[in-house]
Chains A and B, each alone.
Chain A
Amino acid sequence: EIVMTQSPATLSVSPGERATLSCRASQSVSSNLAWYQQKPGQAPRLLIYGASTRATGIPARFSGSGSGAEFTLTISSLQSEDFAVYYCQQYNNWPPVTFGQGTKVEIK
């Protein structure tokens, strides 16, 4: 099973600033990496798949990069609605599909 490790666990950022979230896989997952956003009391929402392709309707301030075992989600200028928990997920080697433990982006 591929283990996904996200860092940091919590990221404190001021509105308008850039946020950089990291995700590391225990082995290469090629570009088969997705990012999801989850707000309290809501279901997750797909942001990025294929490591760097934005899902339908996702603002351009969200960008993904990386391949192999190291990935990054960047939010270029944090808006109030972006404070949430973010999960990475690999879908290269399954079953099982595996998620990281999440990074909480909170207001500084």
Chain B
Amino acid sequence: EVQLVESGGGLVQPGGSLRLSCAASGFTFGNYAMSWVRQAPGQGLEWVSAISGSGGYTYYSDSVKGRFTISRDSSKDTLYLQMNSLRAEDTALYYCGKDPHYDSSGYYGVIDYWGQGTLVTVSS
């Protein structure tokens, strides 16, 4: 059974940093691209970032480019999102998600499994 468990969220001041983690199990982690998608309170879904299965390719939305860094550790089956220079508008529930295509170098763009999310609140 595929499981994704996010952690690392919390309350941080504007300008601060957080590192989110997503522990994966139930599939061969290194063969699938992974994504982060966020949802501000009461709002819709916003794609944030993605990384290929090998980790060699990374992608970002314009709203986080230069501030967030996605990475993965296949020895730990864990996905990360390093978030720096946080702003109030980054406040959201952050979900990690698994891509359905078996391809260590590609990114399909669909999410077939989602974690339950970790809440990031940026406020002074």
Q: Is the CB of B116 within 8 A of A95?
A: no
Q: Is the CB of A99 within 8 A of B47?
A: yes
CA distance A42 to B47 in the complex (A): 17
Q: Is the CB of A44 within 8 A of B114?
A: yes
Closest B-chain residue to A34, C-beta based? B110
Chain B 12-39 interface residues, beta-carbon cutoff 8 Å to A: 35
Question: Residue B60 at the A interface, CB < 8 A?
Answer: yes
B120 to chain A, nearest CB (A): 16
Residues of A within 8 A of B (CB): 1, 32, 34, 36, 38, 42-46, 49, 55-56, 87, 89, 91, 94-102
Residues of B within 8 A of A (CB): 35, 44-47, 50, 59-62, 95, 100, 107-117
19 further A-B contacts with Cβ under 8 Å, apart from A87-B45, A91-B109, are: A38-B45, A43-B115, A44-B95, A44-B111, A46-B111, A49-B112, A87-B44, A89-B45, A89-B110, A94-B47, A95-B47, A95-B50, A95-B59, A95-B61, A96-B61, A97-B50, A97-B109, A99-B45, A99-B46
